[in-house]
Amino acid sequence: ISKARTCHDTGITISGEEIIEDLYNSKMQLIPFAISPLGLFGPTINRFLYGKTIDSDNIHNISATSFPHAHKMAKRASSAEVPSNILERANDIWRRQHPTENFGRSYKSPDPSTYYTQQFGRDVCFANGSAGLEAIALLGDGPLTKSLPNYSCHNDAINLFTNCTDTNAFRRIIDGNAERSQPTVMTNVLTNAHTLDNLITT
């Protein structure tokens, strides 16, 4: 955010700090969204989604001297000026307006909070699986298409190869480390669920 960029079309040069200043003064909010590789949320997004109490003075490592507007934006994200616990509020609105209808079109997703948690969990699993498959591909020829288990690679019964591990790359890994690998299965499920944007506060 400290480096300015110039638009080739307009010739205007502006920095990230200037953009954040304009957003801040316009009462528009950027929410820092930290997430761990395993899908754990940082404190600010936890407050926004679930209403978790946080210490707004000690959560953002942004220099108030070097980036004053970014610091103010991050600090306001955990203040009373920004909504918190929006999923529970969405649940209350949904249950009041649709007392007999499931939000996710299924009894397994009765409300917005449950549906969001399910979808986010699926996305995290998909992202982790995709990262794993990309890493496998970097080792060599990558995963093969689905095939029957191959028992001919090794005589040792503990080394069982399946569709995602029957590759030269995995054979080299197992030859060197004698470790067993399991395939990763990913699915993509379409849904007709409602969106939180469609909820109307009354």
Q: Could you read off the pLDDT of 111-156 as tens digits, one per residue? A: 999 999 999 888 888 888 888 888 888 877 655 555 555 555 444 4
Read off the pLDDT of each residue in 93-121 and give the average, rounded to a whole number: 92
pLDDT at 64: 87
Q: How confident is the prediction for the chain on average, in pLDDT?
A: 76
pLDDT at 2: 58
Q: Would the pTM count as exceeding 0.85?
A: no
Using a pLDDT cut of 70, give the percent of the chain over it: 66
6: which residues sit within 8 A by CB, 6+ positions away?
12, 13
Q: How far apart are CA 68 and CA 62, in angstroms?
A: 8
pLDDT at 87: 95
Cα separation values, 130 from 120, 125, 139, 180, 187, Å? 15, 8, 15, 20, 11
Read off the pLDDT of each residue in 95-121 and give the average, rounded to a whole number: 92
